[in-house]
Chains A and B, each alone.
Chain A
């Protein structure tokens, strides 16, 4: 199944009944699939909006009314959605936003890239907030993490960003899809807008003119983010126990890195991989712990060096960090990455 179709089908199986989108390559298969699929589901709503801005605000409306809702886009379109993502955070609304990242800045190109890591993990929109950011690395993870994204969004009343890339979106892989949940069994939401029938009226807002109120709201959000950071960190390790060099890589780049590491292990190089699955919250502690044994870190990203800053922050100077990246939509082979890793390995005399 194609990656973009996996995301769309998993979303529906997770109870997503509202999809609002706008065409942009390389994610067009998501709206196309949703247009067909949601027309066959009870209560399913698909709208091709007039803009990315409109689509994210339709998402806000559907979320206010209690629905599980999703939008998807890529680079330039995600930039336009930032206003809405900030509002989702401020209004404390659950929603899922998919970014099948392409090369940038500007229009860039439509080839796979990881250049939107900063935008996704640093908030992207205005104000003091965080979004949960998931970095799938395979077709199966597209299925599992899309499904999980809706649960996380509802549990914490916060936007969840699925940060894929053009390659994951286009790649065909066998996948075991999650089973379809029953919407009626989802936890009751006691804050949504339904018309004030038999209860006091509600309002959902992010405007808090009194600085004391806004500060209180910021602290409330902060406590939520701290809880997420405590409880939701996910990562994968591969051959790290005896490793002298740890490769840190996420998403499709980690898949390439894994191939490179297998190759290097055959040559006797003690190299392991740490792959963050949650990009925020970032697995800082896991990296710090690994840093006590392996002093050397090799960060490989398909950009000019973004996640590498989080690795450095995690190590707090406690390790040596080398960055290797290829931006612009270049996808390297495992052989090319293995050469880069081994050259660093020997340069540092780790053998």
Chain B
């Protein structure tokens, strides 16, 4: 009998602790599949964040090193510069990357660091109980934006990926979603592409994934998927935001 579906080799046999309908477990699986298919398990190093995915090393069967809140891009920079032939990725939530870690992320992109960032955008601080995030959209209710986010009081959400696309050192930036099987497959392709961009030495790559958080959105999982398309995607349009093609930036890679 032929086995057609199984757990990726680069994921451990631990059951996920994530809430029902959460996007993290699905994204972990997609990354695991990509690592397997690209045969990277023995040369990939992951940097998990503070937040719901802080326990990522319980699930990935790869080398991983913990970063403090927001600093993953700096830690990944240190790892990658020490081991330029390994594939280094960070896994970060919206609060981690677009609030406390904005400087580290933008400058890693500006330097053209050859790292890949998986940016999981669910519009809230999940692990701390659903507070307003830098990506909480206008009108969205959270525990710290009661009555919905108001621009006069709370300011506007940040479109970090668009900002990163402007950086000269970024090579590939794509925003995807988990709202349908087609979008999930598109996400997997984007992750694979981002790793390939890194392996070709083209510079900074990032995949932003609009991901459901039914618990903190106070929705059921199906409603949450619908809200990604109707609530989030209006503010965070899905698609490729930047792709640099052509010659790789050879000289930069030698620059220390």
Contacts and interface: CB of A to CB of B under 8 A. Distances in A.
A, B bound: yes
A193 B65 contact: yes
B62 A201 contact: yes
B42 A18 contact: no
Contact of B61 (A59, A195, A201): A201
Contact of B103 (A17, A18, A50, A193): A50
Interface string A59-95: 1111111110100000000000001100100010000
Nearest to A64: B65
A11 interface: no
B256 A196 contact: no
A272 to B, nearest CB: 45
Interface in A22-74: 38-39, 44-47, 49-51, 53-55, 57-67, 69
A60 to B, nearest CB: 5
Interface in A112-149: none
Nearest to B76: A61
A46 B104 CA distance: 16
A197 B42 contact: yes
B192 interface: no
Nearest to B56: A203
B81 to A, nearest CB: 5
A187 interface: no
Contacts of B103: 50-51, 53-54
A66 B63 CA distance: 13
B82 to A, nearest CB: 4
Contacts of B77: 47, 58, 61
B82 A206 contact: no
A198 B65 contact: no
A109 B80 CA distance: 36
Contacts of B111: 47
A204 B79 CA distance: 13
B189 interface: no
Nearest to B72: A57
Nearest to A41: B256
Contacts of A67: 82
B83 A194 contact: yes
B211 interface: no
Contacts of B106: 50
Contact of A194 (B60, B64, B78, B86): B86
Interface of B: 41-45, 47, 54-55, 57, 60-68, 71, 74-83, 86-87, 103-104, 106-107, 111, 256
| Interface pairs A-B: 3 shortest CB-CB | A61-B78, A57-B74, A65-B82
